[in-house]
Structure 1
Amino acid sequence: MFYGWRIVGGVFLAQLFVTGFMTYSFGSFMVPLQETFGATRAQVNLGMTIATLTGLIISPILGAMTDRFPVRLLMAAGTLIFCGGLYGMSLSQSIWQFVTLFGVSMSFSALLLGPLVGSTVISRWFNRARGKALGIAAVGTSVGGLVLPVVLGQWIAEDGWRSALENLALIALAMLLPLLLLVMRSHPSDLGLYPDGQTPDGSAPQAPPAIGLKDIIRHPAYWSIGLTIGLLFSVYSALMANLVPYAQGTGISLEAAGALMTVIAGSGLVGKILFGMAADRISLRLGLWIAIGLVLTGLLILQTEPGYPLSVLACISIGLAAGGMLPVWGALLAVIFGVASYGRVMGLMNPLITLLVMPGFVITGHLYDQSGHYHGAFWLYCGVLVVAAVILGRLKMPSPEGIPATAT
């Protein structure tokens, strides 16, 4: 078996833990923290705000470090920060200690153990099977979302939230640290190998050379991709935050509305594999257009308040697209900017995407408060997706010689 698949396994497990906790399990601690500290939900949610703002600052720095320092050391550091943060949170004596520890430690962990470092190293190890490898690694986030909330919920119910955090810290440390130190390698050449495990035959395009931070920001493709992904993520994130109350407003029960989120998570897992494999066979720009089209289709179905069966169909469409976003985005960055600059490009693109995502929650809430329904917000989402598709149309893919892309 090609050693690169071990790299994929390491990234899979890392993303299972960090995304499974930060994205999918944070809500499990909401009520216990309120009861322990007498905190409001706004105070508890401040942890996510701190993590987001901290990530805006450190993402470009860690992205540049990813292109310069050994990946196994960066991911090992991320593991220590993740586990140390979990243990520190378990000892918190006030809500402010908890949210500060969460915000700072999880922002570093999400970058060092998430797609920033993980997609970078996978893109170095794979060329022809890059999309497939990125898709399989991204499945780790879905598995984490399916497993960790259940496990942590059981631990919280039996022994309390402090013990749950301690247990997760110990298990993550025992599983991740030795694996990452032993398995992860920054480049195939570190082991005398080549990408995909195949000796170059001279027919592959020449990889784009490394470029500096200023050149990345000036590059038209940086803005074309960043704006497209940012707008796509903004629609998806705002929709996910409001899907359950939307469904309840159409007469669907709370339990059935919650099941729609599970439908999206399950189809997202499938989408990561399907889009990852397709990314190695079709135009990456076409892959993103398909993802945009699937989300748009789902929104148009939901706009009609169609009842539960068609709502499930809409969520399958949206989930497939959501699963495909990460592997296609990762493969696109590698093809256009090359693996030598991959970490810097993603590190600089993350703040742009975050700035586009953040207003969506407030705008959606405002539109609902003004009208009492989500029709206006959903039509706005559709318009945003059309704009994203148009911006993506400006992107030029690289020439066969591997010269970085431009935009018309």
Structure 2
Amino acid sequence: MDPRRNHRRAAVPDRGGLVAGVAAGALADRYRARRVVLVSQALLVLAFAAFALLPPSLPLFYMAYFMLAVLGAGTMTMTWSRAITGWFVAGRGLALGLSLVGTGLIGALLPSYVGWLVSHYGWQGAYLGLAALPLVLGMPLTFLFFREPEEAGVVGSQAPAVDAIGHSIAQALRTRCFWQMTIAFSVVAVAISGVNVHAVPLLTDRGVTPATAAALAGLIGLAVTAGRLVSGYLLDRIRGPLVAFGMFGLPALACVLLSVAGANVWLCGLAIAVVGLAAGAEHDIAAFFCARYFGRHHYGKIYGLLYTLYGVGAGLGPLLAGWAVERAGDYALALHAASAMFAVAAALILTLRPPPQLERREVAA
């Protein structure tokens, strides 16, 4: 079977997480992120364990997977980053990057862990092994060490002015800044997911051997981790729109390079790694911008909505890339479209302006 035609099955959006993202953020704003994370982790334990009891029914499996995403929404980026943005001001960018590195590392290690579980205990045992992770590791660490500064009795005297202003979600929705960010991050998400999900067939379509293509696709995980650290470090030292322009502008060139590199392994690997850097930087930059421009009072709701909207783009990317391949017969059209999307997003971010009451502070920074 042609792997290019599996995009509809392999790239179904995480609809449950999208549905629950805003709700999880709102709960974190009201009841503190720590409580939301602990409850969500407990529900994840039950949800993973329930998979081991499922009868052989595809509709039930899809329903259970949807509920897994809903129940686990409290462990997504908006809860963790809400606390990080409270504790850190001067080093906020790097702190956000470091806090998100764990997802990349777990993503790299988890397939081997699941494979070992399946080989020794079957698929039911694998789900029970997954349930053990939040129970044995996640919940104890969250309970012992995860706090927001308000819970620890830290007064926000060193918080930036935007934190004191604290836009509501209704106020954020009335700003050009929010929608410009939303369009930029959504377009980037479409381009990133389209390239990353199709990485192996894309490379083989260029003439790279399947084994080499799989090895090059493995660079994505490393590049995602590097992208989070690099973007976080730069956000603390350079104006945010300039950092984002670089992180989203370079992949535009990388996609052009992929379209002309043929079977050159070094050029293909370089291009794939650059797109991976953008994938790692996107969440870090979005979280940083939300805190900087809209404050922390309603951070969970605002970032939860932004996450949901650009999450839709991440779900559509592989579908649109697959459609382009079916229309054109190869990946050239998809790569040119991705390049254009990266360029549009970079331009939108470069021209980003903060809400009017913060414009003077942003210029001074």
TM over 0.5, shorter chain? yes
Partner Cα separation in structure 2 for residue 330 and residue 316 of structure 1:
22
| Deviation at residue 400 of structure 1 after TM alignment | 9.2
Residue identity in the other structure for 1:273: L
CA contact (8 A) 2:182 2:309 kept: yes
Partner Cα separation in structure 1 for residue 124 and residue 272 of structure 2:
35
Q: Corresponding residue for 2:145?
A: 183
| Deviation at residue 44 of structure 1 after TM alignment | 7.9
> Are residue 119 (structure 1) and residue 76 (structure 2) matched?
no
| 1:146-295 map, 5 Å | 146-186=108-148, 188-193=149-154, 200=158, 205=161, 207-295=163-251
Structure 2, unaligned stretches of length 5 or more?
1-5
Q: Corresponding residue for 1:321?
A: 278
Question: For each residue in 1:47-82, what CA deviation from the matched residue of structure 2 results, as whole angstroms up to 9, or x when unmatched?
Answer: x55xx3333332222221111112221001111121
Q: Corresponding residue for 2:3?
A: none
Partner Cα separation in structure 2 for residue 183 and residue 334 of structure 1:
22
CA RMSD of aligned residues (A): 2.5
My pick for the range that moved more, 58-67 or 333-342, is 58-67
Partner Cα separation in structure 2 for residue 271 and residue 351 of structure 1:
21
Q: Corresponding residue for 1:104?
A: 67
Partner Cα separation in structure 1 for residue 178 and residue 32 of structure 2:
25
Partner Cα separation in structure 2 for residue 170 and residue 357 of structure 1:
29
CA contact (8 A) 1:234 1:360 kept: yes
Larger relative contact order (Cα-Cα within 8 Å, sequence gap ≥ 6) = 2
CA contact (8 A) 1:85 1:106 kept: no
Q: Corresponding residue for 2:334?
A: 377
3-state SS of the aligned residue for 1:381?
A: helix
Q: Corresponding residue for 1:34?
A: none
Residue identity in the other structure for 2:347: V
TM-score where L is the length of structure 1? 0.81
Residue identity in the other structure for 1:347: G
| Deviation at residue 298 of structure 1 after TM alignment | 1.5
Identity %: 23
- Alignment size in residue pairs: 356
| Deviation at residue 97 of structure 1 after TM alignment | 2.4
Q: Corresponding residue for 1:59?
A: 21
Residue identity in the other structure for 1:132: L
Partner Cα separation in structure 2 for residue 168 and residue 220 of structure 1:
42
Pair 184,167 (structure 1): closer, same or farther in 2 beyond 3 Å: same
Partner Cα separation in structure 2 for residue 42 and residue 225 of structure 1:
27
Q: Corresponding residue for 2:261?
A: 305
My pick for the range that moved more, 82-91 or 206-215, is 206-215
Q: Corresponding residue for 2:310?
A: 353
My pick for the range that moved more, 126-135 or 304-313, is 304-313
Match of 2:34 among 47, 50, 72: 72
> Are residue 81 (structure 1) and residue 43 (structure 2) matched?
yes
Partner Cα separation in structure 1 for residue 224 and residue 275 of structure 2:
8
3-state SS of the aligned residue for 1:273?
A: helix
| Deviation at residue 242 of structure 1 after TM alignment | 1.2
Partner Cα separation in structure 2 for residue 171 and residue 359 of structure 1:
30
Residue identity in the other structure for 1:309: W
TM-score where L is the length of structure 2? 0.90
Question: For each residue in 1:232-287, what CA deviation from the matched residue of structure 2 results, as whole angstroms up to 9, or x when unmatched?
Answer: 11100011121110111222222211112211211221221111111111111111
CA contact (8 A) 1:207 1:402 kept: no
Partner Cα separation in structure 2 for residue 240 and residue 53 of structure 1:
19
Pair 43,361 (structure 1): closer, same or farther in 2 beyond 3 Å: closer
